Structure 1
């Protein structure tokens, strides 16, 4: 029975009233800070634990939660699992800020999501790109002299943003920040991060695979939900997580859910599929200490496959989704230590996806072969693979890779 941990640090207003928490990745109950090798996997674990394990109402109460959101998370489908009313997405100035990232932020803002700009010590061109999108600016007061802090605040007063003093460590710092007009405060002077901990059995990989297979099937909706409900009933831990997740999306008091079937219907098949995929990968990382690089590569493959499919059939959304799934599933054998044939047998996916995953055949298989060749640096084989596809040029492939670059760490660069 493993301990599930989640850190949270209070954010206070000028009257020292609690207004929010920053939610933090923690692996041990005694950790004050955490060693994070991948921002995406750390954020995924925070989301799974806050919504699925603890229940977001238990974590936040009526306050909002600030969650670190690197470009990978912003551009992923994971965001759609998070109700906008609960969270503030923390973004940082970064070399990986792209036009695609900025457009995605604008779309999320229109849907009601709020953004905070994290760890600011100066205004530069990257910060200026993000300022129109954010509601809160978190300034690292510990890194600045009094004069530098005053100058920065004067510059930021030209923008309609709330100022949050980050890393306040003593009364003198707080007093100076109050004089400058800061509206919110966070730091060890007020409270160190609290590590919440509960005991939960890992949901296990095989049950998750079975559920993913059921959710992905295209059969009669009602009979599918009956089968999904039956599988949940054999997995009390997963059933608990499902109810937590559904309640996390509700307003105020928890919903009165009378059955697993009702919870599945309320969540919806698309959201359920994304949640199970997220659980599958976070379960793999925590249980087996598997390489973050493999997970990042799987996410990157999914996006590359989707964009290549869009280039071939711009209006065939079903084809795009199947291509994305092939990319995501293509490394499950390495992540789970299970033969790909066993995975395919459990999922019951379409023939073209089967052929792609098992034999690298068909249109999806050819695209996957191309991506794998690029990953291995097999430049000599790229022209012939593109010729087999017969709809994509080398320049178009380069454009697609540029679009996806913000999704994952590459071997020679790290997304900050």
Structure 2
């Protein structure tokens, strides 16, 4: 299946009005050339996915540099390791507090080949000055300053080997003033509004998803799981978005696969990957796709029923969750069930239950399916554990 993407791209020009770079921007749709951003971290993850995975750097940037906004969480995350450092400028948002940890991270990223920029500067404080020897670009927001303020900042910045960019240049008078003041680069509506690149993006291949699920189910090493994600950057980004949205009570963002495994544990991590497979394959959120909701409810319902029957057998409960989640896998992937189960390395009793055998897990699945098929006006309805069903529905709603 497919879903849509939207990516803003605004030119950055030099003094000769030659194109030297683009700023890559988050956009919600192709209809409005603006961004409604509730989370800087997730917005930039979208930009990274669309620019470097969906479309590809060669299509979006050609041989030009790409400026990408990064907040503190993303700056400290290893998601940045997925990007081509020779072509990316990490634009440090004005909201980032320049702590010693941030400075150390910037030095490490510079050593890896990334260029760094300070964004929306209207004045400099001592913490920003500590970064200037390592910065390649400083973006001055010309709308927020008068001529004397800009002149003073430019004189100070000329002590460092960096380029000074005038952003939000919206008219000829501003451009002429910035030229006279000696800016190196220019960006704004006077030159061009952001172009919005939109389209439908294909989901990752079934093979990549099934391989990853197989690693989880065979209890592969964490390093093997991380490597599988590194080969599928869009999977990495979507998993982090999913887990950060609903999967962790930690106040700190989960910013890497290693962190997700550490914070969530292997068992919970595996569950999020199972859920990701459906969300990614369907191209829709949990809430907007009833099949994803059904799979989630089945998994949780079966787990709760298993724990009621065998309160101390968490292993069986985990298998019950897996059977419920995978009971719709042939519908999602539009392929024969036997063929899909083969690479997943499932335990025999899990596989047998999915293929229709009435073992303990198969009987639980039958119970769940009967609950779904209940006739509300029939007097011959099979018994149903409504407490467990309502708890499973509540859990799935929280995911949505």
Same fold (TM over 0.5): yes
Q: CA deviation at 1:201?
A: 4.5
What is the TM-score when the length of structure 2 is the normalising length? 0.62
Instruction: Give the SS at the match of 1:21.
Output: strand
- The answer for the alignment partner of 1:369 in structure 2 is none
* Distance (Å, rounded) in 2 between the aligned partners of 1:78 and 1:343: 28
- Are the equivalent residues in 2 in contact too, given 1:305–1:326 (CA < 8 A)? no
- Aligned residues, how many? 286
Q: CA deviation at 1:322?
A: 4.7
Paired residues for 1:165-176 under 5 Å: 165-176=166-177
- The answer for the alignment partner of 1:153 in structure 2 is 154
Summarize the Cα distance change of 1:298–1:218 in structure 2 as closer, same or farther, 3 Å threshold: farther
Summarize the Cα distance change of 1:218–1:32 in structure 2 as closer, same or farther, 3 Å threshold: same
- Are the equivalent residues in 2 in contact too, given 1:298–1:330 (CA < 8 A)? no
Summarize the Cα distance change of 1:72–1:175 in structure 2 as closer, same or farther, 3 Å threshold: same
Instruction: Give the SS at the match of 1:19.
Output: strand
* Distance (Å, rounded) in 2 between the aligned partners of 1:295 and 1:177: 47
* Distance (Å, rounded) in 2 between the aligned partners of 1:269 and 1:201: 19
Summarize the Cα distance change of 1:191–1:301 in structure 2 as closer, same or farther, 3 Å threshold: closer
Structure with bigger gyration radius: 2
* Distance (Å, rounded) in 1 between the aligned partners of 2:104 and 2:196: 35
The one-character-per-residue Cα deviations of 1:360-405 (angstroms, maximum 9, x if unpaired) are xxxxxxxxxxxxxxxxxxxxxxxxxxxxxxxxxxxxxxxxxxxxxx
Q: CA deviation at 1:277?
A: 2.6
Instruction: Give the SS at the match of 1:123.
Output: coil
Q: CA deviation at 1:113?
A: 0.6
- The answer for the alignment partner of 2:210 in structure 1 is 210
- The answer for the alignment partner of 1:309 in structure 2 is none
The one-character-per-residue Cα deviations of 1:47-93 (angstroms, maximum 9, x if unpaired) are 11111111111101110100001111111121110010121000034
What is the TM-score when the length of structure 1 is the normalising length? 0.59
Which stretches in structure 2 are left out of the alignment for 5+ residues?
A: 277-284, 287-292, 301-317, 327-343, 347-400
- Are the equivalent residues in 1 in contact too, given 2:65–2:87 (CA < 8 A)? yes
Paired residues for 1:203-352 under 5 Å: 210-214=210-214, 269=228, 271-272=230-231, 275-282=234-241, 293-294=245-246, 300=252, 302=254, 322-324=261-263, 326=265, 329=269, 332=272, 338=296, 339=299, 341=318, 342=321
Which stretches in structure 1 are left out of the alignment for 5+ residues?
A: 229-266, 286-291, 307-319, 350-416
- Are the equivalent residues in 2 in contact too, given 1:212–1:277 (CA < 8 A)? no
Instruction: Give the SS at the match of 2:196.
Output: strand
- The answer for the alignment partner of 1:410 in structure 2 is none
Paired residues for 1:88-127 under 5 Å: 88-94=89-95, 96-127=97-128
- The answer for the alignment partner of 1:240 in structure 2 is none
- Are the equivalent residues in 2 in contact too, given 1:209–1:343 (CA < 8 A)? no
* Distance (Å, rounded) in 1 between the aligned partners of 2:252 and 2:56: 30
- The answer for the alignment partner of 1:37 in structure 2 is 38
Q: CA deviation at 1:269?
A: 3.6
